[in-house]
Structure 1
Amino acid sequence: MTHLFENYARWDVEIVSGSGTNVVDSSGKDYLDFTSGIGVCNLGHCHPHVVEATTNQLQKIWHTSNLFKSSLQEEVAEKLTLHSIGGSVFFCNSGAEANEAAIKLARKYTGKSKVITFLQSFHGRTFATMAATGQDKVKQGFGSMLETFVHLPYNDVSALKNEIDHETAAVMLEIVQGEGGVHVATEDFIVSVEQLCKENGALLIVDEVQTGIGRTGKPFAYQHYKLSPDIITSAKGLGNGFPTGAMIGKDFLIAAFNPGSHGSTFGGNPIAMTAASATLDLIFDDEFLNEVAEKGEYFKSKLEEIFAPLENFKGIRHKGLMFGVEFSNEVGSMISKLRENGLLALVAGPNVIRFLPPLTVTYGELDAALGIIGGTLLDKQKVTF
C-alpha cells in the first residue's frame, strides 16, 4: 500500500545509489543511466566536485530568504549571464517556475497578454505553463485553460506569420522539443521567429529547461543558431540534481520586475546556488562542451548502424547528447526490455525512445549501452518488440 498520490506511472525499480553514469537499485542490480534523471544530472550522479561544494555549504547555512543579499546568487547569475545573452537572473526551484516567471515578465513588460507557443511543446504543469504547453494530454480533466495562449505547428513560418500581431506579448519555444518527441528547430524557422517578434514588438522566450546547461554541446541550445532571445529559462541541469531554476533576461527587462512583482521563498537557496556554481564551473568549459558534441555524433552514427536495416525504424533526431529514436510502432515494451537488461531510457511520445546520458558519459559506456541496445532489441535483423 502506498501513501502517495498515484500521479506517476512509476517503474518497479528503486534507485538507491549512483556514481557517474552507473546506478544501483534496491535489489543490488546495476544499470547504465541514460535518463540522467530526465536530463538533470548532466555531470552524472554524485559528481565529486558538486558533492564537496554542497557538503561544505551544508555546514554553513541552508536558508536565509531573499530579504537578504546573496553573494552566491550573484556568483551563479554572473556565470549564467556571461555565457548567454542575459543581463539579469531570477532564481526559482524548477523549470515550470522559471517559465511562469518568463510569462509574467513578458506580459508585465509589454502590457499585452497573448502568448504564442507550439504544438508538441512542453513548458510545465502549473496552470500557466500547462496552458502554454501544446499537448492536450497534460490538460485533460482540469477544465478551462488560462486564456490568450495560442498553439501553432512547430517549424511552420507561415502559420506564425498569420497569427503574430501587435497584440502579441511573446513567442515561447523550445529549440529542441524534448517531451514532444525530440523535434529540432530548423534554421529558417528560428531566424523567422526572431524577425517576426521584432516586427511586432513581441518578446522571444526560449525554454531551455531540458536543452540548457550543456546538453546539446553549447551552454544553451539557442547558441547553435544566430539567435538573441529576450528571455531564457533554465532548470534541469542547473543544479545537477539539486532543485533549482532560473529565468535569464536582457537588461531592458529589469525595471519590469520591480520589488514585490514576483518572488520565490526557496529560489536561490544557498545549497542550490552552491550546487549550480559547482556544476557550471565544469560544464561551461569549451573543451568539455566540444566533447559533448563529439560524443553525440559518435553515438548517433552507431545507433544508425544498429537500426538502419529495420523496417519500423523512422530516424534519429538529436543535438549533442539529446536523442530521439523514432519508430513506426509504440516503444513502451522496448523501454522495459532495455531496463531489464541494464539500460535506463525514456519515451518521448508513444513512438520515440529518448536517450539522455550524462554529459560525462565515456566512450566505453556509450559502447556498453549500444551493446545492450543491439542485444536487446535485435534478433536476426528483426525487432523483438
Structure 2
Amino acid sequence: MIPSLFPTYPPYPLVMVRGEGDTIFDDQGQPWIDLYGGHCVCSTGHSHPKVVEAIHNQSKQLIFYSTAGELTIRREASNSLIAFSGMDTVFFCNSGAEANENALKLSFQITGRKAFGSFQGGWHGRTFLALAVTDDPKITEAFESIFPEHHQFPFGDVQALESIDFSNLACVIVEPIQSMSGIRTAPSEWFSALRAKCTKAGCFLIFDEIQTGVGRMGQPFASHYFKVRPDFITSAKGLASGVPIGALMMTEVVAQHVKSHMLGSTFGGGPIACAALIATLDIIQNEHLMEHATQMHSYLASALKNTMIDEVKGAGLLLGLKSHKASDLKAYLLSQRVLVGGSSDPTVLRLMPPLNVRKSSLESLVEHIRAFGGKS
C-alpha cells in the first residue's frame, strides 16, 4: 500500500522531534550532531531564538498577503538583502529552482536568444528550464527531447573556456561551488574570465548561489568571495533559516529591461518569510557567523591532516571530505549520531552545518573520524 506521504529521498534513520543550534533530538530524546543542516538550509541553527521571535511577532500582526498588497516587512526584507548582497533589486519567490527558472526566463526574454549555457556537474533544480541546465541524467533524460537548446561546458577549465562561443547564448548559469557533484570548485581567474567572456558576448551571467550564499563561504555571497559581479544572483535555502523563500537578485542594468508582467508570485515574499529573512541576516552579521565559518573551515582542514580524509574541499562551511572509504565513514558517523551528506562523487561526504556550529561538535566529528580510521 502506498503511504499517505509519498516517499522521495531516503530519510535518516531517526524521527526528528526538535532542534536546538547544531543539534537534532529524536523521538527517544537522543541528541544528533547535525552537520547536514537540512540540506544547507539551517543557516542560523535550529530554532534560533531571534528567528523564532521574529516569526512569532509577525504571525500576530499579519500571516499573509500577496504582492497585491504593499507590506512594510517585505520592503524591509528587500532593503536588508540588497544591502547584504550588493545587488540592486530583488524579486522574491519560494525556492531556489523558482529563482533559477525566472533568471533563465528573463535572460531569454531580454536577449531574444534561445540557447542556454551551463557547466558539467551543475545542479540547478527540478522546474523545466532549471532542469534543462542541470547535469543529472537520471532526472533529465526523460525530458531531453522537449528541452530548449542548451549546452554544457567544462567547469573550471580556463583553457577550455577560451575556445567556447557564447554569442548565441541568452545566459550562462553556474554554481560557484558545485555541491551535489562533490564540492567541486574553480579558480578565481576562471570566474573572472567567465565574467569577461559573458560581457563580451552580450549574454547574462547567473550565479546560482542557492548553497554558496548567505554567508556560507565566509562572505555574503560567492560573488564577494571570487570578486565577480554577475548579472543575476539566485538564493534560497538558508536565506530565512528554514522558512521557505527564494530570491532573484539582479543589477540595475538588467532590471531596466524587466517589465512588471514578466515576474509574479502569490506566496513569494510572504510576511513571515520576510521576517525570518531579516532576522537571519541580522544574526549572521551581528553574531559574526561569516568569520566563524572561515575559522571552522581552517580548524577542520588542520585537524583532519594525517587522517583517512585525503582532502578537505570547499570554502567556509560548504565542505567536502574526500576519502576512498566515504560510504563506510558516513554509515559509521550515523551510528555515532552524526548527520552528514553524500554526493554524486562516491568519495566525497558533504558538510553543510549551521553557520553557528559549535567547535566542540566539529571536534567530536574529528574524534569519530580518527576512531573509524583506526579500525578500518
- Measure the CA separation in 2 of the matches of 1:184 and 1:232: 18
- Measure the CA separation in 2 of the matches of 1:70 and 1:160: 44
- Measure the CA separation in 2 of the matches of 1:232 and 1:101: 11
Question: Contact (CA 8 Å) 1:131, 1:145: kept in 2 or not?
Answer: no
Matches within 5 A, 1:198-217: 198-217=199-218
Give the deviation of 1:315 after TM superposition.
2.0
**Where does residue 3 of structure 1 map in the other structure?**
4
Question: Contact (CA 8 Å) 1:213, 1:284: kept in 2 or not?
Answer: no
Give the deviation of 1:149 after TM superposition.
1.6
Aligned-residue Cα RMSD (Å) equals 1.7
**Where does residue 329 of structure 2 map in the other structure?**
334
Q: Which runs of 5+ in 1 are unaligned?
A: 308-312
Give the deviation of 1:107 after TM superposition.
1.4
- Measure the CA separation in 1 of the matches of 2:43 and 2:306: 26
Secondary structure of 2:103's aligned partner:
helix
Q: Confirm or deny that 1:358 pairs with 2:359.
A: no
Give the deviation of 1:249 after TM superposition.
0.2
- Larger mean Cα displacement after TM superposition, 142-151 or 120-129: 142-151
What is the CA deviation profile of residues 329-367 of structure 1, one whole-angstrom value per residue up to 9, with x for unaligned ones? 5x3332222111110000122221111121111222221
Give the deviation of 1:186 after TM superposition.
0.7
Question: Contact (CA 8 Å) 1:85, 1:250: kept in 2 or not?
Answer: no
Secondary structure of 1:248's aligned partner:
strand
- Measure the CA separation in 1 of the matches of 2:14 and 2:343: 20
Question: Contact (CA 8 Å) 1:93, 1:243: kept in 2 or not?
Answer: yes
- Measure the CA separation in 2 of the matches of 1:111 and 1:221: 28
Give the deviation of 1:374 after TM superposition.
2.3
Amino acid at match of 1:86: M
- Larger mean Cα displacement after TM superposition, 290-299 or 38-47: 290-299
**Where does residue 172 of structure 1 map in the other structure?**
173
- Larger mean Cα displacement after TM superposition, 284-293 or 124-133: 284-293
- Measure the CA separation in 2 of the matches of 1:165 and 1:356: 33
TM norm structure 1: 0.93
- Larger mean Cα displacement after TM superposition, 285-294 or 24-33: 285-294
Question: Contact (CA 8 Å) 2:175, 2:209: kept in 1 or not?
Answer: yes
Give the deviation of 1:139 after TM superposition.
1.6
Amino acid at match of 2:333: L
**Where does residue 117 of structure 2 map in the other structure?**
116
TM norm structure 2: 0.95
**Where does residue 218 of structure 1 map in the other structure?**
219
- Measure the CA separation in 2 of the matches of 1:10 and 1:292: 27
**Where does residue 298 of structure 1 map in the other structure?**
299
Give the deviation of 1:119 after TM superposition.
0.7
**Where does residue 162 of structure 1 map in the other structure?**
163
- Measure the CA separation in 1 of the matches of 2:31 and 2:226: 39
- Measure the CA separation in 1 of the matches of 2:107 and 2:14: 41
Q: Displaced runs of 4+ in structure 1, greater than 4 A?
A: none
Give the deviation of 1:211 after TM superposition.
0.7
**Where does residue 319 of structure 1 map in the other structure?**
315
- Larger mean Cα displacement after TM superposition, 17-26 or 287-296: 287-296
**Where does residue 310 of structure 1 map in the other structure?**
none
Secondary structure of 1:183's aligned partner:
coil
Matches within 5 A, 1:204-283: 204-283=205-284
- Larger mean Cα displacement after TM superposition, 365-374 or 246-255: 365-374
Amino acid at match of 1:356: M
* Identical-pair percentage: 34
Amino acid at match of 1:332: S
Matches within 5 A, 1:39-54: 39-54=40-55
Question: Contact (CA 8 Å) 2:101, 2:128: kept in 1 or not?
Answer: no
Give the deviation of 1:167 after TM superposition.
1.5
Secondary structure of 2:260's aligned partner:
coil
Matches within 5 A, 1:45-84: 45-84=46-85
Give the deviation of 1:226 after TM superposition.
2.4
Q: How many residues align?
A: 374
Q: Confirm or deny that 1:371 pairs with 2:367.
A: yes
Q: Which runs of 5+ in 2 are unaligned?
A: none
Amino acid at match of 1:170: C
- Measure the CA separation in 2 of the matches of 1:122 and 1:256: 27
Secondary structure of 2:10's aligned partner:
coil
Give the deviation of 1:291 after TM superposition.
2.1
**Where does residue 347 of structure 1 map in the other structure?**
342
